[in-house]
Every structure is written in C-alpha cells, then in structure tokens.
Amino acid sequence: MTKILLIRHGHVEGITPERFRGREPLELTALGRAEAAALARRVATGWKPVRLYTSPLGRCVETAQAIAQACALAPAAICEDLNDIDHGAWQFKNFAEAEAEDPALFAAWLATPQLVRFPNGESLQDLAARAADALRLILTCHPSETIALVSHDSLNRVLLLQLLGLPLASYWRIAQSPCCINEIDIADGEARILRLNETSHLNEVSAQPNPRRQ
C-alpha cells in the first residue's frame, strides 16, 4: 500500500481578494510561512513520509522545505506535472477583471469548469492528465511507502476527483484550503480517502478568510 499526503501550499497574495494565481511566481506571505511551519509539525508527528515531491513554483517549494526540515528528509524532488494550471491570458487577473473581459467565459468557469479552456492556457482536462502522470510516477517508484506531494488548489482538486471517480464537472464541490492535508491510501488499484482538506493543525495560526473558490 502507498500512502499519499496530498498537500496544498501556504497562504499567498491573491487568495483574498481572489485572483487567477496559476503560475504567478508568488512567495508565501508571513501567514503562509506560519501555516507551513504548523503543517510541517503535523506531518512530522503524524506520518513521517520517506520522500517529498513538489510543484516547481516557489510557494510549494518553500512549503515542502518546511516539511523536509521537520521530518529530517532530503529536499523535495521537483515534479513539473504538479505545477498549477496555466491560466494563460488571465494569469493574476482578479475575478472582476476577468469577468469584465469575457463575461460568458467567466460565467462558464463558475458553472461548467469542465468546458473551459483559459485563453492561451490550459483546460481542466490538461491538468487532470498531468496529475494522473504524476500519480503514476509516484506509485511506480513507491509501491509501499508514505509520500508527500505539495501542490496547488486546482491540481489537488482534479486529482482527488479522479481518485473518487467523480467527473471534472464536480470541480467546485471539493475545497482545498492553504496548507491542508489530504490522506490517501492506494492498494491494488483502489484508493481510499482517509482525510480531505484537513486543517486542524492550523488552529494555532491566525484565522484568515478562505473563500469557496480560491
């Protein structure tokens, strides 16, 4: 059995008010670093993974570094397939700007996200294919170990949807808060979700609004 801890990075600029962050090179805020420290303590005391993989973006790398230090692990391996969705021309636009630019596409993103391709960017289908490739690599390399993956809101959502056998149309039905933990056991091709969007380890960190679509 492979146990996967699927983790979202800590707080960054652009969560509130909401922006299409995508591949914008954002650093963790002071809150994000505090969240990453609390997350790292939780992972070290609860699971102690043997290997870390991370998105190439700095906010994930920094979150993974906190976990590596707490667990006395080697630096996380960069996995390009764990990168955030490419928002293309909408990258780092706030929601009001995107809606003003293309009201129909913005409305479709909120109502039927599985039918949207961002201008000069990716679709959820592209993202899901990358997420599946990353998972395939992990399962091949670690057939019976505990592994942590540090990634993004959107990638975590589509990977969880695949593991649950749900369609991409259900994208908005799964929440992923900053520095959340999803615990997944995979054995004989079957996945069991033991924890979903767990953030109890952040109770010690100052409260911060988490909009539904972040």
How many domains in the chain?
1
Q: Tell me the C-alpha distance between 161 and 170, whole Å.
A: 7
Question: Would you say residue 80 lies in a domain?
Answer: yes
170-198 pLDDT per residue, tens: 999 999 999 999 999 999 889 999 999 99
24-74 pLDDT per residue, tens: 999 999 999 999 999 999 999 999 899 999 999 999 999 999 999 999 999
Question: Would you say residue 209 lies in a domain?
Answer: no
110-164 pLDDT per residue, tens: 999 999 999 999 999 999 999 999 999 999 999 999 999 999 999 999 999 999 9
- Residue 177 belongs to what domain range? 2-186
Q: Tell me the C-alpha distance between 10 and 124, whole Å.
A: 22
Instruction: Examine the pLDDT at 209 and tell me if it is beyond 80.
Output: no
Question: Would you say residue 193 lies in a domain?
Answer: no
Question: Would you say residue 207 lies in a domain?
Answer: no
Section 98-106 average pLDDT: 97
Instruction: Kindly tell me the burial class for residue 209, based on how many C-beta atoms sit within 10 Å of its own C-beta (0-12, 13-18, 19 or more).
Output: exposed
Question: Would you say residue 204 lies in a domain?
Answer: no
Question: Would you say residue 20 lies in a domain?
Answer: yes
Q: In what order do the strands lie in the sheet with 181-187?
A: 77-78, 51-54, 146-151, 2-8, 181-187, 190-198
Residue 206 pLDDT grade (very low, low, confident, very high; cuts 50, 70, 90)? low
- The predicted pLDDT at position 48 comes to 86
Q: CATH no. for residue 120?
A: 3.40.50.1240
Residue 207 pLDDT grade (very low, low, confident, very high; cuts 50, 70, 90)? low
Instruction: Examine the pLDDT at 212 and tell me if it is beyond 50.
Output: no
The token duo for 135 is 């998972």
